């Protein structure tokens, strides 16, 4: 029986990880902020005014855009979202529910650059109950959800224009109330890492119910006390021990799976469908089509958990594709002990722009370096292109002595690292697999 409970707890960890990890970040954002975005109350946007750097300790944060992030709590009723006109500047507002489903997109690809107003509706809102002059609506799957806004920035001189757009992005509740948003329910801790995790899962899964198709999975964890009204601390010792053991096994399995997820093509992990686990909620801009749905129940939960751990609040590939690698052309781990070369010819086909960003391991944070360069891409000034229009990028912990290599240098940490190639509005050649990225070669 103990072995069966441990196996069940291992599964519960994987299924529940995205909810717990996401809501920890939601609470962190409202209480302490994330990176350069200061703490911001619910139903307000917080803004990063500079591009991210190594001080922004968030998983796989990008260095291409500045963020505008809001934690929205529709327990106060419908909220009006006002979006400024952006013209031809790339931007996206990505909507992520408590279970990390990407359920809506407003931005360049989906709604264009003309701006407008949208009505955000809570899960239980009646259609037409709130008259907001016929505004297009976005219904939330969970009471609390995150809006992650990204604005393309073309260098420091472009920041004032972006700041003006950020300031014009607003959220306005339709109904006045003196009662503050409930937010993420507080959870008593102090039982240790594993039991605290499962207590959060117990409380938060009841406050933020999953999609109906996922209800059965949660109900199956009843023997662990995860659907109980009573705290985990009151469960029998055997149950609590199974939770501790299952937590350790689940965490180890998830971290291991993250390194091997996707299809390895030329030593790059190509998984254009890592965020395709949403099968139920499709509002404006979210594509409801079979090719963007991961329906296999055997892999869907693990994929969702890995996506949260490796790239929380990442976009669907039709908005931005993420391709990463841990190894060189010989299959050896990438490390700042060596010098590497990546030649992109042709450079990636995109509708917006592309970048290659450096991250350390095991945290997946940006890497501090003497030239304050954290990514290289088609908007990086001063690059030297090859005669055929391709681009050769050098990755190393120390600055190259060759002039061209130094111009195209992407600094690496002294230890192991993982670069990510981001393609914003990737071209059809990327999505259908015809565009391939060559392996990174070790040259020193």
pLDDT band at residue 263 under the 50/70/90 scheme:
confident
pLDDT at residue number 261:
66
For domain 1-262, give the CATH superfamily. Answer: Domain of unknown function DUF1254 (2.60.40.1610)
- Helix segments in 177-236, DSSP class H: 193-207, 215-219
Does residue 127 have a pLDDT over 80? no
User: What is the number of alpha carbons within 13 Å of residue 291 lying toward its C-beta?
Assistant: 5
3-state class of 132 per DSSP? coil
What is the mean predicted confidence (pLDDT) over 375-382?
94
Q: For the ranges 45-59, 179-193, 285-299, 328-342, which has the lowest average pLDDT?
A: 45-59
- When pLDDT is averaged across residues 191-205 and rounded to a whole number, the result is 97
State pLDDT tens for residues 413-425. Answer: 999 999 999 999 9
DSSP structure string for 301-326: HHHHHHHHHHHTTPPPTTTEEEEE-S
Tell whether the model's pLDDT for residue 243 goes beyond 90: yes
Domain boundaries, the chain: 1-262, 263-443
For 134, the token pair is: 């016929």
Burial class (CB in 10 A: 0-12, 13-18, 19+), 355: buried
Highest mean pLDDT among 154-158, 252-256, 306-310, 339-343: 339-343
CA dihedral (139, 153, 273, 297) positive or negative: negative
Contacts of 82 (CB under 8 A, 6+ apart): 115, 116, 117, 168, 169, 170, 171, 172
Structural tokens at position 434: 């015809």
Rounded to the nearest 10 degrees, how much is the dihedral formed by the CA atoms of 194, 304, 94, 357? 90
CA dist list (Å): 162 to 36, 114, 356: 16, 15, 22
Superfamily of domain 263-443: Domain of unknown function DUF1214, C-terminal domain (2.60.120.600)
Tokens describing residue 10: 């291992």
- Please choose, from the candidates 270, 57, 43, 269, the residue with its C-alpha nearest in 3D space to the C-alpha of residue 169: 43
The pLDDT confidence band at residue 310, using thresholds 50, 70 and 90, is: confident
Average pLDDT estimate for 220-238: 97
DSSP code of residue 163: H
Q: Are 441 and 328 in contact (CB under 8 A)?
A: yes
**Beta bridge partners of residue 324, listed in sequence order:** 269, 420
314 CB contacts (<8 Å, ≥6 apart)? 60, 274, 275, 307, 320, 322
- Distances in Å between the Cα of 149 and the Cα atoms of 96, 250, 378, 427 are 11, 32, 21, 22
User: Rounded distance, CA 270 to CA 254, Å?
Assistant: 18
Q: Is the pLDDT of residue 1 over 80?
A: no
Place of tokens 């981001």: 422
pLDDT category at 133 given cuts 50, 70, 90 is low
263-443 matches 1-262 in CATH topology: no
Strands (E) in 295-413, as ranges, are 320-324, 340-344, 354-360, 375-377, 391-396, 409-411
- State the pLDDT at residue 338: 98
Percent of the chain surpassing pLDDT 70 = 97
Q: Render pLDDT for 71-119 as a digit per residue (tens, 0 to 9).
A: 999 999 999 999 999 999 999 999 999 999 999 999 999 999 999 999 9
Q: Which two tokens stand for residue 66?
A: 């500045």
What is the pTM assigned to this prediction?
A: 0.90
Q: How far apart are CA 218 and CA 21, in angstroms?
A: 17
pLDDT digits (tens, 9 = 90+) for 172-190: 999 888 889 999 999 999 9
């Amino acid at each position: 029986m103990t072995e069966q409970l441990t196996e069940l707890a291992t599964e519960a960890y994987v299924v529940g990880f995205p909810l717990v990890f996401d809501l920890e970040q939601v609470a962190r954002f409202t209480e302490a902020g994330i990176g350069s975005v200061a703490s911001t109350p619910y139903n307000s946007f917080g803004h990063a005014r500079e591009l991210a750097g190594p001080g922004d300790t968030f998983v796989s944060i990008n260095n291409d855009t500045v963020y505008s992030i809001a934690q929205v709590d529709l327990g106060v009723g419908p909220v009006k979202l006002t979006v400024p006109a952006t013209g031809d500047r790339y931007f996206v507002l990505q909507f992520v529910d408590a279970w990390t489903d990407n359920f809506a997109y407003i931005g360049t690809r989906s709604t264009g650059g003309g701006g407008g107003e949208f009505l955000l509706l809570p899960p239980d809102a009646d259609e037409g109950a709130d008259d907001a002059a016929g505004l297009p609506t976005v219904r939330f799957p969970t009471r609390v959800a995150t809006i992650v806004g990204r604005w393309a920035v073309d260098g420091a001189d472009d920041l004032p224009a972006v700041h003006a757009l950020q300031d014009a992005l607003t959220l306005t509740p339709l109904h006045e109330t003196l009662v503050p948003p409930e937010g993420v329910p507080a959870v008593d801790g102090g039982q240790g890492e594993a039991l605290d995790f499962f207590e959060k899962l117990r409380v938060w899964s009841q406050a933020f119910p999953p999609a109906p198709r996922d209800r059965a999975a949660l109900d199956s964890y009843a023997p662990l006390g995860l659907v109980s009204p009573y705290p985990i601390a009151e469960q029998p010792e055997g149950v609590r021990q199974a939770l501790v053991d299952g937590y350790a096994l689940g965490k180890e399995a998830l971290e291991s799976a993250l390194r091997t997820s996707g299809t390895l093509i030329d030593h790059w992990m190509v998984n254009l469908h890592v965020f395709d686990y949403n099968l139920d909620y499709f509002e404006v801009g979210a594509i409801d089509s079979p090719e963007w749905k991961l329906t296999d129940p055997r892999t869907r939960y693990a994929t969702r958990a890995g996506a949260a751990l490796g790239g929380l609040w990442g976009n669907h590939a039709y908005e931005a594709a993420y391709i990463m690698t841990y190894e060189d052309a010989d299959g050896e781990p990438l490390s700042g002990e060596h010098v590497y070369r990546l030649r992109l010819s042709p450079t990636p086909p995109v509708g917006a722009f592309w970048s290659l960003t450096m991250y350390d391991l095991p945290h997946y944070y940006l890497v501090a370096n003497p030239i304050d360069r954290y990514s290289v891409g088609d908007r990086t000034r001063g690059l030297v292109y090859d005669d055929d229009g391709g681009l050769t990028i050098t990755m190393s912990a120390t600055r190259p002595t060759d002039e061209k290599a130094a111009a195209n240098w992407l600094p690496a940490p002294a230890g192991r690292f993982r670069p990510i190639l981001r393609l914003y509005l990737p071209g059809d050649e990327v999505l259908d697999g015809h565009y391939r990225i060559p392996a990174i070669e070790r040259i020193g």
